[in-house]
Amino acid sequence: MMTTRGKFTENLQSLNVPRTPGEREVTQEKEHVREYSRAMVVVAHPDDAEFGCSGTVAKWCGEGWEVVYVLCTDGSKGTGDRQLTARDLARIRRQEQLAAAEVLGLKEVVFLGHEDAMLEPTLELRKEITREIRRYRPDILVCTTPQRNLDGGWGVGHPDHLAAGEAALSAVFPTARDHLTFPELLGEGLEPHKVSEVWVMMHPEPDQFVDVTDYICTSAKALAQHTSQIGGKGEKEVGEMMREWRRRRAEGKPMEYAEAFKRIILDRPRP
């Protein structure tokens, strides 16, 4: 699951487009050219990334980035099948995630192994995520929003999503940056690292829209690997759903299919 290491140059164009209800009007100014080659996605469960950002991940991997997933829980609770034990479900979901990673071309999948549905943004979880940030040194980190969403949308208020988002953001800043925080990581050979940007999924006011039109088939195929979570749907039906979701995200924008994020730039030059 290794991809060829390469540089990617991002030069964002100015966008001034109407937003759907609930999204504020955003003008995205042209940023100076940034060269990135590594990304990390931190989520609570197997399949969270495929639902939320697999088109973007497929795009990055296709352009030569090294992308790593960090999964906080074992996914051992997400079933209505009374015949499945938590241990069996965790094993199944791990294999599903590895199959999705193969489709996307990920560099690595890190399983932290916390119990599903019980995740909390503890110092221990923050330390574990910090360890992986320092190990893989991403330019961009993608995570879920730590804010509870009460609009009835997908993933509303899942405590594991909130905990994973909070822990990931806290790991990025300031923990991964500061050598005096968790100094024992230095003894593991893990030097501090400054993440350049954070992209937050499921944010109510996204301002970063990624054109995933050329990668929608790969995105759908990756999601289709999570057979325990998609209600018996085949790859064709999953693809139809994915296209509808991404088409709605692209409304009013110069692209057919899009994924949306709240973009936080951490390395802006000081005035």
Render pLDDT for 167-220 as a digit per residue (tens, 0 to 9).
Answer: 999 999 999 999 999 999 999 999 999 999 999 999 999 999 999 999 999 999
CB 198 within 8 A of CB 266: yes
Torsion of CA 52, 45, 130, 166, to 10 degrees: 70
pLDDT in tens, 62-75: 999 999 999 999 99
Phi, psi of 177 (to 5 degrees): -80, -30
pTM (predicted TM-score): 0.88
pLDDT at res. 26? 37
d(CA 158, CA 264): 22
Count of CB atoms situated within 10 Å of the CB of 13 = 9
Question: Does 248 fall in a domain?
Answer: yes
> What tokens were used for 6?
């390469």
Question: Does 8 fall in a domain?
Answer: no
> What tokens were used for 79?
């079933």
Question: Does 125 fall in a domain?
Answer: yes
Closest CA to 31 of 265, 213, 211, 270: 265
pLDDT at res. 152? 67
- Please state the three-class secondary structure of 182-228 as a single string: CCHHHHCCCCCCCCCEEEEECCCCCCEEEECHHHHHHHHHHHHCCHH
The size of the chain, in residues, is: 271
d(CA 185, CA 129): 12
Distances (CA, A) of 103 to 57, 169, 171, 196, 243: 11, 27, 28, 27, 18
Question: Does 108 fall in a domain?
Answer: yes
Question: Does 4 fall in a domain?
Answer: no
Question: Does 39 fall in a domain?
Answer: yes
Domain with 212 in it: what CATH number?
3.40.50.10320
Full residue range of the structural domain in which residue 155 is found: 34-265
In the chain, the N- to C-terminal Cα span, in Å, equals 42
What residues in the chain have per-residue pLDDT under 70? 1-33, 152-156, 270-271
* Structural domain count of the chain: 1
SS3 15: strand
d(CA 218, CA 120): 32
pLDDT at res. 157? 79
Handedness of CA 154, 156, 161, 162 (dihedral sign): positive
pLDDT at res. 176? 98
d(CA 228, CA 129): 26
Single-letter amino acid, residue 78: G
- Report DSSP state, residue 233: -
Question: Does 20 fall in a domain?
Answer: no
pLDDT at res. 271? 67
Closest CA to 99 of 69, 128, 79, 76: 69
d(CA 270, CA 268): 6
> What tokens were used for 241?
């759903």
